[in-house]
Amino acid sequence: MSDTNTNSTVTETSHVPVVLIENVNPNVRNMEYAVRGPIVARAAEIDAEIKSGVKKPFAKVLPANIGDCHATGQTPITFIRQVIALCAYPELLTSPEFPADAKDRAKRILAGCRGGSIGSYTASPGVEVIRQDIAAYIEKRDAVPSKSEDIVLCTGASDGIKTILSMLMTGKTGNERAGIMIPVPQYPLYSATLTEYNAQPIRYFMNEENNWSLDISELRRAIEEAKSKCLPRAICVINPGNPTGQVLTRQNIEDVIKFAHDERLMILSDEVYQHNVYAKGSEFFSFKKVLMEMGAPYNRHELASFMSASKGFMGECGFRGGYFEVVNFHPSVKACLLKTISVKLCPPVAGQAVIDCVVNPPVLGDPSYDLFMKEKTHVLSQLKEKATLVTELFNSIEGIKCNTVQGAMYSFPQIFLPPKAIEAAKAKSQTPDSFYCFSLLEETGLCVVPGSGFGQKEGTYHFRMTILPPLEEIRSVLQTFKEFHLKFLSQYK
């Protein structure tokens, strides 16, 4: 006798999925992340078409949509890779191919790992000796004290930012839900995360007319309009700026700190581009340094600042190394933070090791010092040259205006589109800047991100382009871009 219940036979075609797009968490469904959005998806399709033999008016797709340094040809820093290799395969510690200081660094990191292996879990905030090195780096940079117990390593700065934002949520809805001040334009991590957390973004506009500076009158406008809709909890500042490439002045930072203090807002300072400052007269000041030097009552204000191994001169995006420092957190809040991160066990240990090489690099007299400085200087000098080149070329083209790329890794030019182009975009149900960027991709292979993915003032159109491709390649691409742009303007006049 068969065990099969013929009355309950279900055919494959009758199965209805349990999870449909209609019942996915609406906050997750509504998230958008422009730097990996539809234009990037189309770029991947075009790349596949080229590899399959489809003829295009260009040889390859150039990914200028995301700050992925090594993907565009940047060479890894030797010292970092040597230390990682030694940590991953300690048998190499006996090899004469590796310098003594790289071996010493690997031994120090491995001694801080359980079982002497980066394959083991670490403490949730990270390896203690690495946290000590980070604190020493911050103290040297800012000339103010820093403690290892205030340092938390994380899976890239993005993970740390999301962790702190999650702690600021109120768990309520309507006008009692958390409100977070974010710049416009902004890195889409912030808007996407706030959508995911069902929080209220309080958008403040950077002043494009004054090289993307931050006007306190605009902060006041934004927060006053938001107070009836939410409970403002924090202000996020990106310095140097992404996507705008500005570097805030010290006075600007002091003004923001005073504003945050007056409005009882925690400060989230995204400082992942602190090594990337190019323009004459520009200088990076950390929010912590300024806050502490301002004295009472500002030096007691809560702050979280974020750093990453993915940017700077190292560009080690794939290792997912990052950290944040919490300043002036109440002991009970810090305990809650440690409980929160313990759920994730620990960040990648190889990424932690990369961070250690960044904050504690070879010093004068070390075997690796000369090569390290040569490689670091080369990367940063090339970025500086490309920042100048991109700014000057964009400003030489009709219908484009680009503020000076003072820092970070991006240009964010404004494009002045003819009315016919705007109408053509509407006919395709696209934003005008998306329409422009899709056309650019299809005709030149250059993949950039429309400004609407970062936010922009209504009636203005921009795109973000990285300055990462090799110098000769970026020269060639910019000439191709110029030809496309002038043709586009002529087509839609």
Question: Domain check: are 125 and 256 in the same one?
Answer: yes
**In 261-363, at which residue ranges do the beta strands (DSSP E only) sit?**
266-270, 303-308, 321-327
Query: Is residue 102 included in any domain, yes or no?
Result: no
Residue 18 belongs to some domain of the structure: no
Asked if residue 398 and residue 337 are part of one domain, the reply reads: no
pLDDT in tens, 211-265: 899 999 999 999 999 999 999 999 999 999 999 999 999 999 999 999 999 999 9
Residues 396 and 340 in one domain: no
Model confidence band, residue 44 (pLDDT cutoffs 50, 70, 90): confident
- The domain boundary, picked from 334, 359, 384, lies at 359
Give the model's confidence band at 342: pLDDT under 50 very low, under 70 low, under 90 confident, else very high: confident
Q: What is the pLDDT of residue 34?
A: 53
Q: What's the pLDDT at 11?
A: 55
Cis peptide leading into residue 297 (ω within 30°): yes
**Can you tell me the distance from the alpha carbon of 451 to that of 461, in angstroms, rounded to the nearest whole number?**
6
Q: State how far Cα 130 lies from the chain centre.
A: 22
Angstrom distance (rounded) from CA 168 to CA 178: 7
Identify the three-state secondary structure at position 179. strand
Look-up of token digits 């006053």: 224
289, 250 in Cβ contact below 8 A? no
Residue 28 has pLDDT above 80, yes or no: no
Question: 49 lies in which domain range?
Answer: 26-74+373-491
The average pLDDT across 92-107 equals 96
Residues 339 and 307 placed together within one structural domain of the fold: yes
Torsion region of 455: left, alpha or beta (phi above 0 gives left; psi -120 to 50 gives alpha): left
CATH number for 416: 3.90.1150.10
For residue 268, report the phi and psi dihedrals to the nearest 5 degrees: -110, 110
Cβ neighbours of residue 315 under 8 Å, at least 6 residues apart? 68, 69, 70, 74, 76, 379
The tokens for 40 are 């990037």
CB 116 within 8 A of CB 88: no
Both 299 and 229 in a single domain? Answer: yes
pLDDT of residue 199: 92
Give 285-318 pLDDT, tens digit per residue: 999 999 999 999 999 999 999 999 999 999 999 8
Both 148 and 282 in one domain: the answer is: yes
Share of the chain above pLDDT 70, in %: 95
Residue the block writes with tokens 């205006």: 401
Residues 353 and 461 placed together within one structural domain of the fold: no
Q: Are residues 308 and 421 in the same domain?
A: no
Task: Please check whether residue 232 is in contact with residue 265, taking contact to mean a CB–CB distance below 8 angstroms.
Answer: yes
Question: Do 390 and 332 lie in a common domain?
Answer: no
476 within domain boundaries: yes
Answer yes or no: is pLDDT of 474 > 90: no
**What confidence tier does 27 reach under pLDDT thresholds 50, 70, 90?**
low
- Domain assignment of residue 100, yes or no: no
Do residues 48 and 134 both lie within one domain?
Answer: no
CB atoms within 10 A of CB 452: 21
Domain assignment present for 415: yes
Determine the pLDDT at residue 413.
94
Local confidence band at 1 (pLDDT 50, 70, 90 cut-offs): very low
* Parallel, antiparallel or unpaired: strands 400-401 and 410-411: unpaired
Report the alpha-carbon distance of residue 413 to residue 411 in Å, rounded.
Answer: 6
The pLDDT score that the predictor gives to residue 60 is: 84
Domain count, the chain: 2
Q: Which of 221, 219, 197, 189 is nearest to 206 (CA)?
A: 219
Instruction: Find the helix or strand (DSSP H, E) in which 323 lies.
Output: strand 321-327
Residue 315 domain flag = yes
| 191 assigned to some structural domain | yes
* pTM as predicted: 0.88
Q: Let me know whether 381 and 351 are in one domain.
A: no
- The tens digit of pLDDT for each residue in 419-451 reads 999 999 999 888 999 999 999 999 998 889 999
| Highest-scoring range by mean pLDDT, 5-9, 267-271, 463-467 | 267-271
DSSP string, 17-52: -SS-GGGS-HHHHT---GGGSHHHHHHHHHHHHHHT
Per cent of the chain over pLDDT 90 is 68
Residue 386 in any domain: the answer is: yes
Mean pLDDT of the chain: 90
Structure tokens at 253: 């930072």
